[in-house]
Chains A and B, each alone.
Chain A
Amino acid sequence: MLRRTAALFASAFALAGVLVGTAALAPAMAQEPKRGGILRMYQRDNPPSASIHEGATFSVNAPFMGLYNNLVMYDHAKELDSFDTIIPELATKWAWGDGGKSLTFTLQPGVKWHDGKPFTAADVKCTFDLVQGKKEDKLRTNPRRSLYDNVLDVVPNGDHEVTLKLGRPQPSLLNLLASGYTPMYPCHVNAAGMRTRPIGTGPFKLAEFKQNEMIRLTRNTEYWKPGRPYLDGVEMPIITNRSTAMLAFISGKLDLTFPTEVTQQVLRDLRTQAPKAICHMGPVNVSTNLIVNRDKPPFDNADLRRAMALSLDRKAFNTIIAEGEASVGGTMLPQPQGVWGMPKEMLESIAGYGPDIAANRAEARKLMEKHGYGPGKRLAVKISTRNIAAYRDPAVILIDHLKEIYIDGELEIVETGVWFGKVARKDYAVGLNLTGNSVDDPDQSFFENYSCKSERNVTGYCNPELEKMFEAQSMETDLEKRKRMVWEIDRQLQEDVARPIILHNHSGTCWHPEVVGFRMANNASYNRYRFEDVWLNR
């Protein structure tokens, strides 16, 4: 029955999913795919490790997703990553039972790990145990643990069947499992091993990971999907300077840019310098936001946090960073690409979202003055951010905006490897952050970023009442009803200044026409790097 509900969701998603960006379709697949060749894509920064379950950035997904398989995944050829594009992978089929409180997967037989050991249902259980922190062997960081709180138990039935027992019905669980963040890990490799010498079942094996220099994947000749992958390997030099990387792309030294690193400005350059390149520009379901640590004085004061939210001029951010092409919204990806985005009127009624910036800031200054701040007594604060352009640039704008309300920010730039641990431990006061949503689904967004216990809830926002609503919407099977519940939650999160969302970025990815079979989704950017269907036409 829930299967039918899921199908219902699916059709609704399909209707809502209107293509807006400048997505260019890959050339028709009429031609017989060619085998061989090395795909060259740059990597924008040094990934902390090869272990996707410990990653919270697609600096980990993009290079390493090809090493693994999921139980289910999104069809890489479709426009959106949604219910109706979920296809089997390690699970050949699945069935809901027990009134939506159990989900049984039938597993593909004959699958082998890269080291030759067979993949079985026990590995599925091991993966869940690892992510849920039930194993002796712990993940170093565990960003998505709270997503699976509803999974009470994982029961293997023989080698090729496994059942997830749930605490309550959760149709969205399939979405979570289809994300690029949910690979299956083997029982026989420990967490540390997966960081440095990862073993997966995927189309590629890790050949080399030279820190700050190069990541090389090589074809898994024993891959269980017949005829895949087409490529002999993927080569990813780590180039931290975007300009250098784009020049390398233009001059043909790279086949593919790092996903979503093409800004509007860069795109204009590419259109003239590499006119044949195929570019996908659109929403990526990554929001730029302000994070404030609620436990650190003076920011334990709600007035200060509210004043900071009021100081934001979202239009200025949008104009500078995305030439006005980004969208403004709450936590969920705004319409039309997003299914769950709040309606415009609702959004504009929220404090700080109104168009009169001067009035907002005047109100913000009053709040600051109430606590003794003013032109003569300014508040000095470190603004932490990650060392990539997409974080640094808005952080500078943020500092300028905060200046209007007696706050003097100084930037603290943190390397990728340090950043995620730092914010997870709440070892910061104020930060400029980007939050990526791997799938356009409220369960992912709410439980991961706003539930009290989640490691990714970096601001320390905790509202048990609202958390009950998270669960209620998660069980709701009527799409329209669920939407309304989601809007209300989202509005409440913004009113509470949980994590003021500044923008929902639109950005691009480009590749040369020789690259066939690669496509970015229009509502997510974490799930399309298996690279098994990609081939080079040269």
Chain B
Amino acid sequence: MAGGTYQAELNRAGASATGAWSQAWFLVRQYPLGAIGALIMAVFVLAAIFADAITTQSPLATNPRVSLAGPGATYIMGADFMGRDVYARIVYGARISLAVGIGSTFLGCLFGVAIGLASGYLGGWFDLIVQRLMDIMQALPLLVLALVFSAAMGPSLQNTIIAIAIPLVPSVARVIRSNTLALRELAFVEAAQATGMSEWRLAIRHILPNTIAPLIVLATAQLGSTILTEASLSFLGLGVPEPHPSWGRMLSESAAEYMRRAPWLVIFPGLAISLAVFGTNLLGDALRDLLDPRQRG
């Protein structure tokens, strides 16, 4: 159980933490890398929310006077060929990256959970067919599947989210299914069944809450890979289109074109992608250790 695991973990560590703050402090000490990950993610989320407040330039405005200007007082990360502020583009780019990352992870989890629950709970032919279908989808590399989907639907923010969400479904469905299978055998479910609860209600009321922990672990781990996939798609020109400031797009042809004279065009967007993914990976690792100790490496 999610709450139980977490509490057990605290107890196991011998923490006498009671208040929320001291619990948090305990966690930070116990999982310093995870805390760093959480901090990095917090910075990106805050930047995305308060993008207007922390930038002075528009991310879209071109300015002939500062074409390829180096990092300086006004343009702290320099400007691109069209004279757009790289810093502003990175800050607003966090919106795109997080929108795509969170959006597609959420969408993928939503469908993955529904399919996994149904598949695990109903079993039988339905389960067999769904499992084969998930196998099939997983046989294709994530990027390839996302590429084909986004090409088929045309590049736009919304389609990018969908294209990345689809390949996520099988892995989520699989984890949820195996959890559901395990839970179905447990006593409290049998007890609920005995009281005559309807199957769907049972699944949603009792089984679903108990799959939250592995789901959180999985979602955090996938968040990083969705951000990477979006960057790759946009880099290849099949993700979020110009003029929207997407980190991957910033690194595509135009940046490479001036990498000799304006290395900041390559360095900063790449750093932003790497940091964001690094943050989610750190956080994901710590959450896995905390919530799902069976998987601990």
Contact = CB atoms under 8 A, between A and B. Distances in A.
Interface in A305-344: 315-316, 319-320
A392 B259 CA distance: 17
Interface string A256-295: 0000000001000100000000000000000000000000
Interface string A387-420: 1010011011101100100000111110000000
A396 B241 CA distance: 11
A320 B244 contact: no
B253 A409 contact: no
Contacts of A18: none
B244 A319 contact: no
Given A243-B260, A319-B67, A399 B60 contact: yes
B256 A243 contact: yes
Contact of B65 (A242, A319, A397): A319
B70 interface: no
Contacts of A265: 68, 258, 261
B81 interface: yes
A492 interface: no
Contact of B258 (A243, A320, A400): A243
A403 B60 contact: yes
B67 A320 contact: yes
Contacts of A244: 256
B60 A389 contact: no
A269 B261 contact: yes
A387 B83 CA distance: 20
A397 B244 contact: no
A461 B138 CA distance: 51
Given A269-B260, A393-B254, A410 B244 contact: yes
A252 B68 CA distance: 27
B62 interface: yes
Nearest to A394: B82
Contact of B253 (A240, A319, A410): A240
Interface string B44-69: 00000000000000001110110110
Contacts of A319: 64-65, 67
Interface residues of B, number: 25
A400 B82 contact: yes
A349 interface: no
A11 interface: no
B237 interface: yes
A400 B60 contact: yes
Contacts of A403: 60
A218 to B, nearest CB: 31
A241 interface: yes
Given A265-B68, A265-B261, A400-B62, A320 B237 contact: no
B260 to A, nearest CB: 6
B60 A320 contact: no
Contacts of B244: 410
Interface string B203-243: 00000000000000000000000000000000001000111
A320 B156 CA distance: 27
A320 B256 contact: no
Given A320-B64, A320-B67, A400-B243, A389 B260 contact: no
Interface string B248-285: 00000110111111000000000000000000000000
Given A320-B81, A392-B253, A399 B260 contact: no
A247 interface: yes
Contacts of B156: 410
Contact of B82 (A241, A247, A393): A393
B260 A410 contact: no
A320 B62 contact: yes
A411 B238 CA distance: 12
A132 to B, nearest CB: 37
Interface of B: 60-62, 64-65, 67-68, 81-83, 155-156, 237, 241-244, 253-254, 256-261
In the A-B complex, list the 3 residue pairs whose CB atoms are closest, starting with the nearest.
Answer: A319-B64, A411-B242, A400-B62
Interface of A: 240-244, 247, 265, 269, 315-316, 319-320, 387, 389, 392-393, 395-397, 399-400, 403, 409-413
14 contacts: A241-B256, A242-B257, A269-B260, A320-B64, A389-B257, A393-B254, A396-B242, A396-B243, A397-B62, A403-B60, A410-B241, A410-B243, A411-B241, A413-B242
Given A269-B260, A396-B62, A410-B156, 15 more contacts: A240-B253, A241-B257, A243-B260, A265-B261, A269-B261, A392-B242, A393-B81, A399-B60, A409-B243, A411-B242, A411-B243, A412-B155, A412-B241, A413-B241, A413-B242
